[in-house]
Amino acid sequence: MKTVFVNPASAERKWYVIDADGKVMGRVAAKVASMVRGKNKAFFTPNQELGDYVVVINADKVLVTGRKAQQKLYYRHSGYVGGLKVDTFEKLAARHPTAPLENAIKGMLPKGPLGRKMAKNAKIYAGAQHPHAAQNPTAIDL
């Protein structure tokens, strides 16, 4: 048997669309991160970017279970002394509707340059419209 090595230039990469309306945020993020990383393919390689492109629509209507909407905290720092800022899920979603789902997906990807490159393959939109209709994305039901 010969080991098959697929390079990113010759890999076939597909486009998928996921409707997050009424879905739990963690389940959507786990599915998107897995597909962007390429773990759903037979030739998965952890050190290469061979995953698919995933478009997530209605990210502003994603749900969280329990009391996470009031209790889940998101931290950011300005870089100055005493510059720690804290937002709850509700406040962050009101200010930037796609940010909670983006943070969840980025947290499930590898850290470093490869993970940052993979995170760009997840296209997240707050509404039902997206500009990737020309790629003919396949709808995925969770």
**pLDDT score, position 124:** 97
Note whether residue 9 is domain-resident: no
DSSP-assigned letters across all residues of 110-136? PSSHHHHHHHTTEEE-SSS--S-GGG-
- Percentage of the chain modeled with pLDDT above 70: 100
Structurally, the chain folds into a number of domains equal to 1
Q: What is the pLDDT of residues 11-40, one digit of tens each?
A: 899 999 999 999 999 999 999 999 999 999
Q: What is the pLDDT of residues 108-130, one digit of tens each?
A: 999 999 999 999 999 999 999 99
> Which CATH number characterizes residue 27's domain?
3.90.1180.10
Look at the pTM and tell me if it is higher than 0.85: yes
In the chain, beta strands by DSSP E:
15-19, 53-57, 73-77, 84-88, 122-124, 138-140
Tokens 């993020």: give the residue: 29
Task: Supply the range of the domain harboring residue 59.
Answer: 15-140
